[in-house]
Amino acid sequence: MQQDRILIIGANGKTGARVNARLKERGIETRAVSRSSEIPFDWERPESWAAAFDGMTRAYVTFQPDLAVEGAAEAIEEICRISQEKELKHLVLLSGRGEPGAQRAEAALQASGIPWTIVRASWFSQNFSESYLLDSVLAGEIALPAGPVPEPFIDVDDIADVVVAALTGDRHMNQLYEVTGPRALTFAQAAGEISQAIGRPVRYRQISPEEFAKSLAPHASQGVIDLLLELFTVVLDGRNTSVMHGVEQALGRPARDFSDYVRRTAASGVWKV
């Protein structure tokens, strides 16, 4: 039997790095690619895509910046075409909840003829500690254009566990796992749990989309700003409040609670000032 060689697109991402580490611990050969890898992969350079698939049997695909952007579905369709040409036997796609663009990308994968698994995730807990909200937590105030709408934050370690299970077990082929945490919290409640864990105030302040865009203007392109505005004002409009059970369906265990994430992260020291 041919031993699997697994391509990971997004080697430096929150999920990609974790998936790569887990597969290597199992002794599975991986090729984790990014713009700076030995075999480079750049979503903005389609001519770079095909080489990454040479000799691979399965792939984990994370699209940058987000499947919600224009052209994402077409990019995934091309990835599927390349995968067929290179005779891959399975693609696992990280997707997002409530995003029309992501749904189009999912449909492209499902129609491709390649065995697939879709991991459709809610908002990452780790955005508070490994992303742009870390500085806000350290400063003691999280200011976003999101109202009091609960979100069932998902632990990225759960996503990685589901993806690894999908990449290493054929029973997950042609399955869609919608993964969330076990309860929904507002951003204010999430800030409160972080505050309690680290022993200093972290408050949440809802701001207008205009104020949010203005705060980002010195640091991000207009395209990134538009994307974030869509995510905060459209995706977080209540459509994704429901708790789903994809983690348990895939792994046979419940998803980690946000409080578990907060305790682990507080103990790591990343929130210390």
Residue pLDDT, tens place only, 150-197: 999 999 999 999 999 999 999 999 999 999 999 999 999 999 999 999
Query: Comparing 11 with 39, which gets the higher pLDDT?
Result: 39
Say which range, 194-203, 225-234, 262-271, has the weakest mean pLDDT: 225-234
Domain ranges of the chain: 5-124+154-180+241-255
Average pLDDT over residues 132-142: 95
Quote the distance between the C-alpha of residue 218 and its chain's center: 25
pLDDT band at 215, cuts 50/70/90?
A: confident
Q: Is the pLDDT of residue 76 over 70?
A: yes
Q: Which architecture does CATH list for 5-124+154-180+241-255? A: 3-Layer(aba) Sandwich (3.40)
Distance CA 243, CA 152 (A): 6
Average pLDDT over residues 131-142: 94
Tell me the CA distances in angstroms from 172 to 54, 115, 164, 165, one per residue in order. 24, 9, 10, 8
Tell me the CA distances in angstroms from 85 to 50, 104, 114, 117, one per residue in order. 9, 22, 11, 19
Question: Tokens representing 268?
Answer: 């790591």
Distance CA 46, CA 32 (A): 17
DSSP for 197-256, written as a single string: HHTS--EEEE--HHHHHHHHTTTS-HHHHHHHHHIIIIITSSTT-S---HHHHHHSSPPP
pLDDT band at 2, cuts 50/70/90?
A: low
Residue (of 18, 9, 28) closest to 169 by Cα position: 28
Question: Tokens representing 163?
Answer: 């993806």
Would you state the pLDDT for residue 233?
A: 77
Would you state the pLDDT for residue 190?
A: 98
Query: Percentage of the chain with pLDDT > 70?
Result: 99
Say which range, 25-34, 73-82, 95-104, 184-193, has the weakest mean pLDDT: 95-104
Q: Is the pLDDT of residue 226 over 90?
A: no
Secondary structure of residue 19 in the 3-state scheme? helix
Would you state the pLDDT for residue 131?
A: 86
pLDDT tens figures, 6-24? 999 998 999 999 999 999 9
Q: Is the pLDDT of residue 1 over 90?
A: no
Q: Is the pLDDT of residue 212 over 50?
A: yes
Query: Comparing 91 with 101, which gets the higher pLDDT?
Result: 91
Question: Tokens representing 191?
Answer: 């800030």
pLDDT tens figures, 250-270? 999 999 999 999 999 999 999
For the chain, the average pLDDT equals: 95
Question: Tokens representing 96?
Answer: 């997002």
Quote the distance between the C-alpha of residue 142 and its chain's center: 21
- Compute the C-alpha angle 193/196/200, nearest 5°: 125
- Is residue 39 exposed (0-12), middle (13-18) or buried (19+ Cβ within 10 Å)? middle
Average pLDDT over residues 209-217: 87
